Amino acid sequence: MRPGTLRRIAAFARPWRGQLGWFLLLIAVSAALGAVVPLILKEIIDGGIERHRVGYVEVLAAIVAALAVLDAGLSLAQRWFSARIGEGLIYEMRSQIFRHVQRQPLAFFTRTQTGALTSRLNNDVLGAQSAFTNTLSAVLSNVLSVGFVLAAMLVLSWQITVVSLVLLPVFIFPARAFAPRLARLTRERYGLNADMHNTMTERFNVSGAMLAQLYGSPEREEVNFRGRARQVRDIGVTQAMYGRIFFVSLSLVASLATAIVYGFGGRLAARGDLEVGTLVALTAYLGRLYGPLTQLSNVHVDVMTALVSFERVFEVLDLEPAIVDRPDAVELPAEAAAVEFDHVGFRYPAADEVSLASLESVAVLDTRIPAPVLHDITFRADPGQMIALVGPSGAGKTTISQLIPRMYDVRSGAVRVGGHDVRDLSLQSLRAAVGVVTQDSHLFHDTVRANLAFARPDATDEQMWSALDAARIGELVRALPDGLETVVGDRGHRLSGGEKQRLAIARLLLRAPGIVVLDEATAHLDSESEAAVQQALGAALAGRTSLVIAHRLSTVREADRILVVDGGRIVQSGTHDELLARGGLYAELYRTQFRPAAEPAQSADSADSADSAAAVPA
């Protein structure tokens, strides 16, 4: 167990101190009632049946019945408190994990297995919850029961009590032998369950299912899943057998002890040295003694299992977010729109800086320091200016764009917005000022309205329709049977690529940021969709500072300045005509990438012009 775990568990329980107090009091009263009933049974036999006192027997029987009703009521009250505490704990732990994970940097999500992460919010939280409800109540109830029962047995016959405890030391051996193994198996099973859950998460979304169907085969995927499920099954069987052997061992010891007491007590009763009612009461107490003792011997296993769950939860909560607000962070002024890169150098974070081995399904995280990907990047975009980034794939264009909303922190130099170093700004104000549209914009499996409101929760219908119209998709949404209430599907897959992009642009327009980042927003669209998106982009960029990662000639030509990026460096800078005149990488990109893409559009424009001229009467 890690240092401080118990203290942190107690901190989680602090909000439920009052309810826990009542819960434990009810358990104590219930345990006391359980110890009283055998004494009444003794009195029924010795004081009622053997003396033929019918009325006395009936009164005592009624008392036993009343105690049974009271115990049932106490049991219901215990369950109510148990449910309130347990569900409250689940709610708080899940909320804390969700809030904490949302604060993690983008690098965390690029490394983490989604299934392993969601497993922490489900399986491990449930395991931790059982510690407060099942384990805690079982420990207190059994300890009190054993105490009350031993006290009553000593009063009735200290000799039989001593005999009944002869085999008590034997209970210690199974607990010491099996508890560590069961804890290890529990931790391993959680990990295997997370792997299996991750496989389902990756295959059961639209993109994963499409990839599996196009490149995989149902048989191969089934074999892969069966392999993971088999590991979960096998360790479950092993864990169940260890647990059963442990329980059977304790039960056997308890049965042997009961047989010894019956033999010894029966001899005393046969000789007249012990009343029959007392022997009946003592044998009844044996069940109430060895049952709790068996469970207390197993409590070490339960506690170790619960601690594994708590430690896996705390492991996530202890991972400090790499990007946070400074204590003296300031709000970005609303009018701030200039973007400046000042001798920026950057490398991606190492695995041990942002992730956990258990969330990547590796034994040990890779501690190697990644190589720098940006070197001495310096440029400035004035308010309202458009800067185009061009260059070969892997040159560092997207990385540059991600530094503006501070998805990563620079390693040297500074990125400034409105003259402020982005590290000195609050993340909320910075990201509210920067709108981003990527080449594969993400939409949630929700309605059009909900996806738009994600950018601006207080937006009115009028504002939403205005944004949709500006993004050239308002007409399409109006034509849908449910309009704004239409569900777009997982990641927006019920819409075409162009429709998704235009909806993403509408979301950006609704947010109305002063700075726009477009990361190849039309890269994978057909010519018709691209034309519609380009019109929408015109509305998005109007009057805003923009950084555009471009692959289309039309976008490049409209830029106030073009930055050519290669190998993480800006190797050329200027306008389209200036860069063509200089030659070099931009001229090469123009010949191989931009001009071929522009020629079909130019040909189409020429054909349209010819058709129009032919249609004009002489």
Q: What is the pLDDT of residues 33-85, one digit of tens each?
A: 888 888 888 888 888 787 888 888 889 899 989 999 999 999 899 888 888 88
Crossing angle for the helix pair 54-102 and 5-13, to the nearest 10 degrees:
110
Identity of residue 299:
V
Residue among 431, 474, 471, 470 at smallest CA distance from 454:
431
Task: Report d(CA 260, CA 618) in Å as an integer.
Answer: 122
More confidently predicted of 368 and 599: 368
| 182-210 per-position pLDDT tens digit | 777 877 887 788 778 777 777 776 566 65
| 5-44 per-position pLDDT tens digit | 778 887 877 888 888 889 889 988 988 888 888 888 888 8
Tokens of 584: 């070099």
pLDDT of residue 397: 93
Whether residue 254 contacts residue 295, with contact meaning beta carbons closer than 8 Å, is answered with no
pLDDT of residue 422: 95
**Average pLDDT, stretch 333-356?**
91
Q: Is the pLDDT of residue 449 over 80?
A: yes
107-111, 168-172, 403-407: the lowest-pLDDT one? 168-172
In percent, how much of the chain has pLDDT > 70? 87
pLDDT of residue 424: 95
Judging by DSSP bridges, how do beta strands 569-574 and 561-566 pair with one another? antiparallel
Identity of residue 175:
A
| Residue reference for tokens 């020429």 | 606
pLDDT of residue 523: 59
**Average pLDDT, stretch 464-478?**
89
Beta strands in 433-560 (DSSP E): 434-438, 515-519, 545-549
Whether residue 115 contacts residue 364, with contact meaning beta carbons closer than 8 Å, is answered with no
**Average pLDDT, stretch 504-529?**
78
Q: What CA–CA distances, in Å, run from 510 to 7, 234, 480, 507? A: 46, 53, 20, 5
pLDDT of residue 385: 92
Degrees, nearest 5: CA angle 279-285-291: 140
**Average pLDDT, stretch 415-444?**
90
Of 184-198, 215-229, 406-420, 433-447, give the range with the top mean pLDDT.
406-420
Show me where the domains of the chain are located. 5-317, 339-349+371-606
203-217, 502-516, 545-559, 590-604: the lowest-pLDDT one? 590-604
| Residue reference for tokens 């504002």 | 463
**H-helix or E-strand spanning residue 8:** helix 5-13
CATH code 3.90.850.10 for 339-349+371-606: no
pLDDT of residue 388: 92
**Average pLDDT, stretch 542-557?**
81
3-state class of 354 per DSSP? helix
Q: Is the pLDDT of residue 611 over 50?
A: no
| pLDDT category of residue 153 using cuts at 50, 70 and 90 | confident
| Residue reference for tokens 């002489």 | 618
Task: Report d(CA 407, CA 430) in Å as an integer.
Answer: 11
Residue 579 CB coordination number (10 Å) = 23
> Which CATH homologous superfamily contains domain 5-317?
ABC transporter type 1, transmembrane domain (1.20.1560.10)
Length of the chain, please? Answer: 618
| pLDDT category of residue 608 using cuts at 50, 70 and 90 | very low
Crossing angle for the helix pair 5-13 and 276-317, to the nearest 10 degrees:
100
Whether residue 180 contacts residue 188, with contact meaning beta carbons closer than 8 Å, is answered with no
pLDDT of residue 617: 31
Backbone angles phi, psi at 67, to 5 degrees: -65, -35
| 118-130 per-position pLDDT tens digit | 877 777 887 777 7
pLDDT of residue 10: 79
Beta strands in 189-302 (DSSP E): none
Contacts of 507 (CB under 8 A, 6+ apart): 451, 452, 454, 455, 467
pTM for the model stands at 0.72
Task: Report d(CA 254, CA 167) in Å as an integer.
Answer: 8
More confidently predicted of 179 and 582: 582
Q: Is the pLDDT of residue 597 over 70?
A: no
Q: Is the pLDDT of residue 605 over 50?
A: no
Task: Report d(CA 218, CA 210) in Å as an integer.
Answer: 12
Q: What is the mean pLDDT of the chain?
A: 82
| pLDDT category of residue 525 using cuts at 50, 70 and 90 | low
Contacts of 180 (CB under 8 A, 6+ apart): 304
| pLDDT category of residue 612 using cuts at 50, 70 and 90 | very low
Of 181-195, 400-414, 578-592, give the range with the top mean pLDDT.
400-414
78-92, 238-252, 368-382: the lowest-pLDDT one? 238-252
Backbone angles phi, psi at 351, to 5 degrees: -60, -40
Whether the domain at 5-317 and the domain at 339-349+371-606 fall into the same CATH topology: no
| Residue reference for tokens 């559009």 | 601
Task: Report d(CA 296, CA 138) in Å as an integer.
Answer: 8
Task: Report d(CA 332, CA 343) in Å as an integer.
Answer: 22
Query: What is the greatest pairwise CA distance in the chain?
Result: 136
Residue among 548, 584, 570 at smallest CA distance from 378:
570
pLDDT of residue 387: 94
226-240, 263-277, 408-422: the lowest-pLDDT one? 263-277
3-state class of 114 per DSSP? helix
| Residue reference for tokens 């506690």 | 303
| pLDDT category of residue 245 using cuts at 50, 70 and 90 | confident
